[in-house]
Structure 1
């Protein structure tokens, strides 16, 4: 079976700093895969290359067998890759439903031709996505008054607007309360199961990672040092020394991402 995402020997240098160095992996259809490592491990730089925000110094990225290396983010999005970010970005003056509708309008390539009647377009489709993330009862609320956990769920609905085959989630539970974290990741697991979407996510909450990941990769100084199941990663001596044991062997990277 063809991998949804295949990464080959991915490299990104910032001057003399090797933020990502010879990283390779695959994400299978319907897989929920975690990429972990403390701040500075290279996670954000890796994500930005996968989504086109950064061009690799070397290496290749394939989506369903097609080379997408260095393509612009909008083109990658149209090929079926969604993304959520550490900091949510929504139109605060619009309602919950209108935010999803705007994503759907863009997906259907009607952004500039329908603005005067945008509030009427794709509403039912937007409500279906809001139903998926448990937000349909808040469809007509303004985003400006939403709780942070609800904003995260809305962002997930927006990320699903282009019917992605692959979803990149950059620290999806950052800033959330413990119960909200559990609920959001359970929701993500349900989406993986029900829609067959593949998910690659970064996360600092190890309880979330070990509870929900099908496969875990550990990044240190831009290099993959371990991967496997939760039990295998927990037992890996390098992970215990460098990451889970609170080591300080990580180079600063997020300032460059």
Structure 2
């Protein structure tokens, strides 16, 4: 499969403390790949280096063969990398569709168009994105009254506004009810399948991870200790030791 992201020996240290140590991996075009690990494993640090929020101490990050190591987040975003966060950041005073329109105006460099007629700009495109995430029927509702799961769907629509090649999702189902978690990740899997977007996501819900991931990576203390399919990761002795002190990690009749 075509490689969209390649990470080579990525490292981040703080005054002698090694947060991420020599991590190397790749994400293929149209792949839904999970990055899991216990708290403090280095997942968020790794994400922040991929997106430019942190400058690596060493190593390289390549997007579709181009070196993007250490570039500014906006430059990386312009090159086709989107991101969603654990905590949603929508404009609560605006409607659902207006939030998406704002993101589209930013993508098309038309923020200067804000004014009395701004509500008309890119509305059709915004509605199409909302349909993709099953939020079209809530387009004109203010964000302030949305359920948390719907805010997560809206955030996904916003992340899709600039047609990313790679989407980084940091704990996308955090704080959601179990049924809403399943719906959101199935929606993400559908987008990966239908649009060819690559997704790298972190997650603590193992049912979500094993139900939807094509491949799974496991970080522990900044070290990548496993990278494989569900069965390989489930049966890896080091992964079992990290999660359950050597016991069986997941039942064979799980969603994987």
Shorter-chain TM-score: which interval?
over 0.9
- Structure 1 unmatched ranges of 5 or more: 248-257
Q: Report what 1:170 is aligned to.
A: 170
Contact (CA 8 Å) 2:237, 2:246: kept in 1 or not? Answer: no
Q: Deviations over 1:8-32 (max 9, x none)?
A: 1000001111100000101000000
Q: Report what 1:7 is aligned to.
A: 7
Q: Aligned Cα RMSD in Å?
A: 1.2
**Distance in 2 of aligned mates of 1:77 and 1:244:** 38
Displacement, 1:246? Answer: 8.8
Contact (CA 8 Å) 1:2, 1:65: kept in 2 or not? Answer: no
Structure with the bigger RCO (C-alpha within 8 Å, sep 6+) is 1
Q: Report what 2:89 is aligned to.
A: 89
Give the TM-score normalised by structure 2.
Answer: 0.94
Q: Report what 1:98 is aligned to.
A: 98
**Distance in 2 of aligned mates of 1:97 and 1:59:** 40
Give the TM-score normalised by structure 1.
Answer: 0.94
Q: Report what 1:21 is aligned to.
A: 21
Displacement, 1:157? Answer: 0.3
List aligned pairs for 1:241-256, cutoff 5 A.
241-245=241-245
**3-state SS, counterpart of residue 187 of structure 1:** helix
List aligned pairs for 1:68-83, cutoff 5 A.
68-83=68-83
**Distance in 2 of aligned mates of 1:82 and 1:230:** 25
Q: Deviations over 1:117-160 (max 9, x none)?
A: 32110000000000000000000000000000000000000000
Q: Report what 2:40 is aligned to.
A: 40
**3-state SS, counterpart of residue 117 of structure 2:** helix
**3-state SS, counterpart of residue 34 of structure 1:** strand
**3-state SS, counterpart of residue 201 of structure 1:** strand
Q: Deviations over 1:199-229 (max 9, x none)?
A: 0000000010011000000001001011111
**Distance in 2 of aligned mates of 1:139 and 1:174:** 23
**Distance in 1 of aligned mates of 2:163 and 2:84:** 14
List aligned pairs for 1:110-189, cutoff 5 A.
110-189=110-189
Q: Report what 2:250 is aligned to.
A: none
**Distance in 2 of aligned mates of 1:207 and 1:98:** 34
Number of matched pairs: 247
**Distance in 2 of aligned mates of 1:31 and 1:43:** 18
- Structure 2 unmatched ranges of 5 or more: 248-256
Q: Report what 1:212 is aligned to.
A: 212
Displacement, 1:245? Answer: 4.0
